[in-house]
Amino acid sequence: MKRRAILFLKPYEVCIVSVDPLSINDADLSQHLDQELGEVSSEDLARMADAPVSEPQVDARGKLRGRVLAIRGSDVFVDIGGKSEGFVALDEFEPDQPPVIDQVLDLVPQGFDKESGLMRLSLREAKLAVDMESIRVGDVVKARVTGSNIGGLELRVHGARGFMPMSQVDLVRHDDMAGFIGRWLECEVTEVDRKGRGLVLSRRRVLERQREEDARQLRFQLAEGQVRRGKVVRLLDFGAFVDLGGVEGLLHVSDMTWGRVGHPREVLNVGAEIDVKILKIDLVKDRISLGVKQLSPDPWTMVPSKYAVGQTVEGRVLKLMNFGAFVELEPGVEGLIPISEMSWSQHVRNPKDILNVGDNVRTSVLSLDAENRKLSLSLKALSSDPWTGVTERYPPGTTVSGLVTRITNFGAFVQLEEGIEGLVHISQISAQRIRAVSDAVEVGKVVQVRVLSVDADQRRVSLSMKPLPAPEPERAESAAAGDEATAAPPRPEKKRKRPLRGGLAW
């Protein structure tokens, strides 16, 4: 195995002789020395041999000072003041600051090299020690992101290791940290570990201070009626918070669009940039109200010119309520179909019995009030009213067949035709006394009924299931013969003995 022999010939001059210690002899050694010494005189060698020897001076922080002697290959040789010289790896110098002969450096010893017997020195560690001494908690430094782990980012600050927790990377949460690798970030030092030479950093604190400063300046620039570009930062059930550049405003769900919005996520996404109009600024409560629909015309301004009473229109069912169904005719324009306007023939108890959300329906406009944003619609108005001419079709005394549709405590409803129902009161169901309507009739059964009366205006038909009473034989014969003698004599009118109260005497 060959080993290196280092020979210092003149001050700050060095030569390296590579020899094999097992095969060397006096003649070879003399030859190698003659080749390497070259022009060095015997007087110089004697003077160098007689020079006093001093030990390397290491300070309290473990650093020593050395002078650059030579640069050979990938090593920089340094005189540190003792017999054991040292060397520094050339790659520890910055590319734009290469070593220079006679340059004085602060270095950190890192032991002896087994091959050459020289002391290994580190320039990078010395610089790191200097930087770590100057860094304090609260300092703002620039750090380069070198990697990421499950807890956050790994960084380098002037050679020192840094760590940034995930919660301190940004003002908003990032699930993927790959986009930060290789970037330079401005961070605040939150912890300093001088022994381990590590730093804990926070970019969030720097961003928060910048946002507060931007907010202070922006507050003096905002005014109601302005249109600003903002970024959606949060979505809640009642609206979205939009960052206007350091100041957040609330965009309520009712101000997002002229149409109906169930949840803000239906029209917005976190991170989206949108134009908003400032509706109101409350400096006391520090609140800013924003709107998006105000940037476009109100569709109700065109309703009177687009829709008229009696017009047939098409729409989509948006919402079902107990009292009716809301139908969207166009974005921002809705009409209500009352439950009473849904069917002539069916007794609709709930709109969901005949409609579903999302259904496309054709309706007729019943009434229009653009000022109050009200529009009434009707489904049954598109078909003829079955109650027209009902009196002529069902005169009193008519016997017809009908279907029992409903039973209540007071009677049974019987459908005479599509859209026409009559009521058989419990007293008209049977000639015999019954305790409950269900004892005599069943829903879905066809029964014979007799029309007692018809009220077309109130849409009521009174029916009876009781049979007609048979005429008495004697009375029938007497009436047929016209025998007045056999008729019972009229009762004499009683005379009032006393006058009526109040002075009435008749």
* Count of other CB atoms within 10 angstroms of residue 471: 10
- For range 347-371, the mean pLDDT: 90
**395 and 431 together in one domain:** yes
Quote the pTM value. Answer: 0.46
- For range 360-380, the mean pLDDT: 91
Residue 380: per-residue pLDDT: 87
Close Cβ partners of 320 (under 8 Å, ≥ 6 residues apart): 326, 350, 351, 352, 355, 356, 357
What domain range is 17 assigned to? 3-46
Q: Amino acid identity of 195? A: K
Report the CATH number that the domain containing residue 434 is assigned in CATH: 2.40.50.140
What is the distance between the alpha carbons of residues 29 and 19, in angstroms, rounded to a whole number? 9
What is the distance between the alpha carbons of residues 459 and 297, in angstroms, rounded to a whole number? 45
**293-317 per-position pLDDT tens digit:** 999 888 998 899 999 999 999 999 9
3-state secondary structure of 416: strand
Give the position of tokens 């605040």. 188
DSSP 351-378: GGGT--TT-EEEEEEEEEETTTTEEEEE
**189 and 231 together in one domain:** no
Q: How many domains does the chain have?
A: 6
Residue 47: per-residue pLDDT: 56
**122-145 per-position pLDDT tens digit:** 777 766 655 566 778 888 888 889
Let me know if residue 482 belongs to a domain.
no
**284 and 316 together in one domain:** no
**272 and 226 together in one domain:** yes
CB contact at 8 A, 363 and 379: yes
Q: How many whole angstroms from its chain centre is CA 505?
A: 89
Which helix (H) or strand (E) segment holds residue 153: the answer is: strand 152-157
**309 and 376 together in one domain:** yes
Let me know if residue 480 belongs to a domain.
no
Let me know if residue 76 belongs to a domain.
yes
What is the distance between the alpha carbons of residues 120 and 116, in angstroms, rounded to a whole number? 10
What is the distance between the alpha carbons of residues 69 and 75, in angstroms, rounded to a whole number? 11
Residue 96: per-residue pLDDT: 77
